[in-house]
């Protein structure tokens, strides 16, 4: 006779394009999980959306989500990362982090998770091939480079561009904005290069992973090319992501979180 395990409670911090997609999928049903709570800076804005769910979750302040959930999905502005993650990992719970770039400024959260039996999970997001990079990192990786090209709408407001007064709206040809480490890229393009930081964490770290960022008025998709040279393999991969409602984020980002949630409770798990 089989016994049904209790479902784990999942909270979502942030109800933008990513948060809403994940909420819909949890509401439709993912084995072993239930959507228990959400937090938003403007909950009244999402009243109709939440009412459309078959089992509407509690709406709570971000700092209280830990009381109603075992897992939190961080899909909020990166400045809120410590407020969202710390209450979970300090109690041995799990935080799924999309603002990977903010982890570099909040490394104490990793130590806190380790000390208390908590877990911080960075999903694949808008990239491809993190399994291969993670496998290569078990040996020796010599170099990792990522070339990112984004439409103009996906780069507006990036600190690197604003601080230098670059007028990307007048571009009629691709322009390389930046080349440097993933750590530097995360500071200059915090809403655009969480993928770069995720890549660096999977491989050789944020100070050895090299990033190029291009503004490209000729494309409509967020494009990333990864080039890896290691003692076990040399490989390159390219992905072209269709933007979500938020032009800075690809549709596949939310789907990667959904896939991660399904994998956590699946009887068959494929991939590293």
Q: Please check whether residue 137 is in contact with residue 235, taking contact to mean a CB–CB distance below 8 angstroms.
A: no
State CA 240 to chain mean position distance. 16
Inter-axis angle of helices 251-264 and 17-28, nearest 10? 40
Q: Classify 45 as helix, strand or coil.
A: helix
Q: How far does the chain reach from its first CA to its final CA, in angstroms?
A: 31
Q: Classify 96 as helix, strand or coil.
A: strand
Q: Is 14 exposed, middle or buried (0-12, 13-18, 19+ CB in 10 A)?
A: buried
Q: Classify 84 as helix, strand or coil.
A: helix
Q: How far apart are CA 167 and CA 177, in angstroms?
A: 11
Q: How far apart are CA 207 and CA 268, in angstroms?
A: 36
Catalytic residue list contains 224: yes
Q: How far apart are CA 272 and CA 202, in angstroms?
A: 11
Residues 6+ apart with CB under 8 A from 24: 53
Which residues are catalytically annotated?
A: 224
């Amino acid at each position: 006779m089989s016994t049904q395990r209790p479902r784990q409670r999942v909270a979502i911090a942030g109800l933008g394009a990513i948060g809403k997609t994940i909420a819909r999928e949890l509401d439709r049903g993912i084995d072993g999980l239930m959507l228990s709570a959400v937090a938003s800076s403007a909950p009244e804005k999402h009243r109709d959306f939440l009412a459309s769910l078959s089992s509407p979750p509690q709406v709570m302040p971000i700092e209280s989500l830990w009381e109603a959930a075992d897992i939190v999905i961080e899909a909020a502005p990166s400045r809120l990362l410590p407020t969202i993650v710390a209450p979970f990992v300090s109690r041995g719970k799990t935080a799924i982090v999309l603002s990977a770039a903010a982890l570099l400024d909040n490394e104490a959260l990793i130590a806190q998770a380790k000390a208390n039996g908590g877990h911080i999970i960075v999903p694949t997001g808008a990239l491809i091939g993190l399994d291969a990079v993670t496998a290569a990192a078990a040996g020796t990786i010599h170099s990792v480079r990522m070339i990112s090209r984004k439409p103009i709408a996906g780069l507006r407001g990036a600190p690197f561009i604003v601080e230098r007064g670059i007028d990307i709206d007048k571009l009629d040809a691709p322009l390389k904005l930046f080349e440097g480490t993933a750590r530097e890229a995360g500071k200059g393009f915090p809403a655009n290069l969480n993928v770069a930081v995720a890549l660096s964490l999977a491989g050789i770290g944020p100070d050895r992973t090299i990033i190029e960022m291009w503004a490209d008025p000729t494309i409509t998709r967020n494009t990333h090319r990864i080039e890896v040279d290691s003692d076990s393999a040399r490989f390159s991969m390219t992905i072209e992501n269709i933007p979500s409602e938020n032009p800075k984020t690809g549709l596949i980002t939310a789907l990667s979180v959904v896939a991660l949630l399904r994998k956590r409770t699946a009887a068959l798990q494929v991939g590293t």
